[in-house]
Chain A
Amino acid sequence: MVAALGTLRELAHALEAGTCSAHELVRQSLERAEALEPALGAYLGLRAEAALREAEEADRRRARGAPRSPLDGIPVAVKDNLAIRGEPLSCGSRILRGYVSPFTSTAVAHLERAGLVVVGRTNLDEFAMGSSTEHSCAGPTRNPFDPERTPGGSSGGSAAAVATGSVPAALGSDTGGSVRQPASFCGVVGLKPTYGRVSRLGLVAFASSLDQVGVLARSAEDAALLLGVVAGHDPADSTSLPQPVPDYAAALSGDVSGLRIGIPKEYFPEQGGNAAVFERVRAAVAELVSAGAREVTVSLPHTRHAIATYYLICTAEASSNLARYDGVRYGHRSPRARTLAEMYRRTRSEGFGAEVKRRILLGTFVLSAGYFDAYYRKAQQVRTLIRRDFERAFEHCDLIATPTTPEPAFRLGERERDPVSMYLSDIYTVSVNLAGLPAISVPCGEVGGLPVGLQLIAPPLGEPEVLRAADAYQRRTDWHRRRPAEAA
């Protein structure tokens, strides 16, 4: 099998030095993806022809001495809920079968402007709803460390593609942990930026107030490089932040001396959860402390309501966001309907999978007259309390450290019949989305041969700080260099 690709940094050096061409890299990427694909299920579609053509153009630019950026010509993958002009946009759903987007998302447009070559669209839970990439109409993606386990989700395809080295990095989206949790399960780095840091234009909405485009890569340094490409203000997204984008890679000084790392006492229970996971995370914090950081205890009392709050808000927004899939203008339309009501019912019954239907039903209920105050309005109030918890905690620390998930990757099908247990595994990630904060998941060890992730959370726009701490950790450890056996 063709070898795994190196990191963004390594590939950029190779292209600069002329030791390889973009065309070679993209071909290697495509060949590796194709070789792994039948078993892995990471991709929903490869753009072989277009990607190779774009790689040749990148090579010509570089030959002229005018590359678009140091990353010009490097292959990447994109979660299939980000629009690319002229490409199918499926969101892993039958209801979008046959749909081709006529426009490109801002995040992907930024990739193109930097010359990065999108080699394929990656698998996901339908409309990014799920934590296992099992809820895709194309079938599940498998965990590269254990094919009987899930890669996490919903950006499981992107995480598996990066972990197996068919691409050095990929874009995902994170509504309640959908970048960080699969990164943790697949032993890669996953960064969810501050809400509004990356434009949502062209990201198919699941829960608009929580959705954020994120990056998956093998190192914090690569995550910094890719975030620098896709971040920035977009007047076409009203929730986009206007602040200028700092040079994230330049923030990676390796220096964490004096950094105060907060440990939320509520997140490290005496009992429950997987003790080995907590042990790895504590060891990772200890590593940073030995590098000069300081550990402080903080409290996030309202995060015990985070799961309930999250599932009230995200289902409410989803029920409305997904109303447009009605069979009238595009995508699937049931051919068997005779009345309008029947067309809606059949189209949506046939087009959506079980998890999406479950969330639409929940969200419709949450917003209904008579329940709105008790559920949606109350959830918004608790959301404010959760945000304030973080604000208070950050008066005492610079970053907050938690496990990304309470347990390593679970088995495929294990939680299909018990959605609530699946929802509960989002315990450490969802409050970050509710508060709109930046957070990263960094590989910090293994339990039973499966990767474990350390989550670092910062105040709004604290991307340089989480990246610096994650990079400092990776300079001292090798966990991020561990590859799954068959992808080695």
Chain B
Amino acid sequence: MPRAGSRYEVVIGLEVHTQLRTRSKLFSEAPVTFGEKPNHAVTPYCLALPGTLPVLNARAVELAIRAGLATHCTVHTHSVFARKNYFYPDLPKGYQISQYEEPICTGGWLEIEVPAAGGEEPQRRRIGITRIHLEEDAGKSIHDESLFGEGTLVDLNRAGVPLLEIVSEPDLRSPEEAGAYLRALRELLRAIEVSEADMEKGQFRCDANVSIRPEGSRELGTRTELKNLNSFRFVEEAIAAEVGRQAEILDAGGRVQQATLLYDPDRRRTRVMRVKENADDYRYFPDPDLVPLRIDPARIEAIRAELPELPEARRARFEAELGLLPREAAALVRNRSLAEYFEAAARAHGDPRAVARFLLRDLLAALGDRQPDETALPPEGLARLLRLVDDGRLTARSARDLLPELLERGGDPEALMRSRGLEAVSDAGALGGVVEEVLREHPGEVASFRAGEQKLLNFLMGQVMRRTRGKADPASVRELLLRRLGQGG
């Protein structure tokens, strides 16, 4: 991987296609489905039968407006649907209805967290959003000899499914930044319920425009386009591989050719699909079957008012109002469900920082792939669990040990603590007896400690902990031991 990194600056722009959360398609009442029998989620319009006409799905427009507002775009009160003309068997009309010269949203930005090296606090950067527009998805061509010999089968269930294309400025400077942008965008789209953005279902797809230029140069290099990157990992790997390929060409004194490439994850290499001799000519023109899309400014404001709190605003609030460290706040807002769970638990408990630390350290590990709101432990239950720790009745370690069962089966943390016999031995009376016992049985060590061998304190603590089978609160044990040893008796 790129030795190039040091001598070349990487310039990346991303085009994301995300499927909107609508019940029906963008221009017909056909349902949006997944896994339906081929060509069963279609109407005459989806098949481009003669005489059919498009009717715009108002819900899709609303979701596009929401996405535009959440990315600080200008939402235009006048935009135009255009036809992108090309022939392909899975494109039934011979054109895709998209937006071209006048998209619905332009000129926004998305804040990303740039991964920082060596334990430093991550940096935040604004990545420009050039435009967001609505368009139809195409169908699916299936080339499977076992099904249909050498022929091609076409499934039009997906044809006409509403997509949002979100185009970034060429502001990204590394594969990792590209990955961070995609994760932030996906989380945002899910948070505002614009898209499920499920990559495995093809609901969130990415094309990357990649170029490199000598460090310090202001001119953009010739860019290539990486198509169909369908996982975060592939996006980063593919861009890294393409940067390497371009660097090799430049190092050898060659010139990068404008081309469309595919990524081969097995060989970890990009492969030229086709070289662009001339720019493709899609003969865009305004779709005469549709009137320009006019949006009442009042409707835009109403949608703005209904937007949930966005991740970046939430992060700022967690820092300013709840006193979290930037790293903690950023980690919590990365996942909407986790952030909301945290807020509820912090409210019930009263010490947001303590809750945040426990969530990020212990709860995340115990959750695995689950979202916190999918478990049997409500945020209030978590708060009660932490209060047991605060009160010295449960050690932090025991609290962690109880998590799997609480997440699985729920119930009252205190009752579970008792039934497991995990109540901490922390009151001076009960613990005091054990301490006296241990001191009595180890006179040699006591003497050595008093003579200056400080590390023997740990040995004595270990003895107390063993006798209490871990239920003792280490801080209390330490305090008691020091007090007794200090008394000299």
Contacts and interface: CB of A to CB of B under 8 A. Distances in A.
Contacts of A209: 288
A372 B85 CA distance: 14
A203 B279 CA distance: 35
A368 B281 contact: yes
Contacts of A299: none
B214 interface: no
B354 interface: no
A320 B285 contact: yes
Nearest to A380: B286
Interface in B33-74: 44, 47-56
B89 A320 contact: no
Given A238-B289, A238-B290, A344-B87, A364 B283 contact: yes
Interface stretch (A98-106, A113-121, A246-254): A98-106
A323 B93 contact: yes
Nearest to A235: B55
B84 to A, nearest CB: 10
A210 B391 CA distance: 80
B154 interface: yes
Contacts of B152: 340
A96 interface: yes
A137 to B, nearest CB: 15
A369 B279 contact: yes
Determine the main DSSP class of A at the interface with B.
Answer: loop
Given A238-B56, A367-B85, A320 B50 contact: no
Interface size class of A (residues with CB under 8 A): 35 or more
A204 interface: yes
Contacts of B291: 238-239
Given A235-B55, A238-B55, A207 B288 contact: yes
A99 B44 CA distance: 13
A320 B49 contact: no
B25 interface: no
B285 A316 contact: yes
Interface string A352-375: 000000000000100111001000
Nearest to A91: B50
Interface in A192-229: 200-205, 207-209
Interface stretch (A11-19, A324-332, A403-411, A472-480): A324-332
Determine the main DSSP class of B at the interface with A.
Answer: loop
A324 B281 contact: no
A319 B290 CA distance: 17
Contacts of B55: 235-236, 238
B53 A237 contact: yes
Interface in A141-193: none
A328 B92 contact: yes
A433 to B, nearest CB: 12
A89 interface: yes
Contacts of A322: 94
Contact of B93 (A103, A236, A324): A324
A83 B51 contact: yes
A223 B285 CA distance: 35
A340 B152 CA distance: 10
Contact of B94 (A326, A367, A376): A326
Contact of A205 (B51, B92, B281): B51
Interface string A32-46: 000000000000000
B83 interface: yes
Contacts of B287: 208
A236 B53 contact: yes
A205 B95 contact: no
A238 B57 CA distance: 11
B96 to A, nearest CB: 11
A139 B320 CA distance: 81
Nearest to A83: B51
A317 interface: yes
A377 B138 CA distance: 28
Nearest to B154: A328
A324 B44 contact: no
Interface size class of B (residues with CB under 8 A): 20 to 34
A324 B92 contact: yes
A115 B154 CA distance: 40
Contacts of A83: 50-51
Interface string A293-318: 00000000000000000000000110
B266 to A, nearest CB: 28
Contact of A204 (B51, B85, B95): B51
A235 B55 CA distance: 8
A99 B154 CA distance: 19
Contact of A89 (B48, B50, B53, B283): B50
A201 B27 CA distance: 14
A82 B51 CA distance: 8
Given A324-B93, A369-B281, A202 B51 contact: yes
A201 B285 CA distance: 21
Contacts of B49: 101-103, 330
Nearest to B56: A238
Contacts of B92: 324, 328-329
A320 B95 contact: yes
Contacts of A202: 51
A237 B93 CA distance: 17
Instruction: Identify the interface centre among A102, A323, A368, A372: most chain B CB within 10 Å of its CB.
Output: A323
A200 B281 CA distance: 29
A340 B51 contact: no
Given A364-B283, A368-B283, A101 B51 contact: yes
A430 to B, nearest CB: 16
B87 A323 contact: yes
Contacts of A239: 288-291
A317 B287 CA distance: 9
B51 A320 contact: no
Interface in A278-299: none
B154 to A, nearest CB: 7
B28 to A, nearest CB: 10
Nearest to B285: A367
A428 B107 CA distance: 46
Contact of B50 (A99, A236, A328): A99
A101 B49 CA distance: 8
B13 to A, nearest CB: 22
Given A208-B289, A369-B279, A329 B94 contact: no
B94 A205 contact: no
B283 A201 contact: no
Contacts of A99: 50
Contacts of A91: 50
B59 to A, nearest CB: 15
Contacts of A102: 44, 49
Contacts of B44: 102-103
A401 to B, nearest CB: 29
B89 A340 contact: yes
Nearest to B43: A103
A323 B94 contact: yes
A328 B51 contact: no
B51 to A, nearest CB: 4
Contacts of A82: 51
Nearest to B84: A320
B95 A323 contact: yes
B94 A101 contact: no
Contacts of A201: 51-53
5 contacts: A208-B289, A238-B289, A317-B285, A323-B85, A367-B283
What 10 A-B pairs are tightest by C-beta distance, nearest first? Answer: A323-B94, A209-B288, A367-B283, A208-B288, A202-B51, A324-B48, A204-B50, A83-B51, A369-B281, A328-B89
Interface of B: 44, 47-56, 83, 85, 87, 89, 92-95, 152, 154, 279, 281, 283-285, 287-291
Interface of A: 82-83, 89, 91, 96, 99, 101-103, 105, 200-205, 207-209, 235-239, 316-317, 319-320, 322-324, 326, 328-330, 340, 344, 364, 367-369, 372, 376
Given A101-B50, A324-B92, 9 more contacts: A207-B288, A208-B288, A236-B55, A238-B291, A239-B291, A317-B285, A324-B50, A329-B92, A367-B284
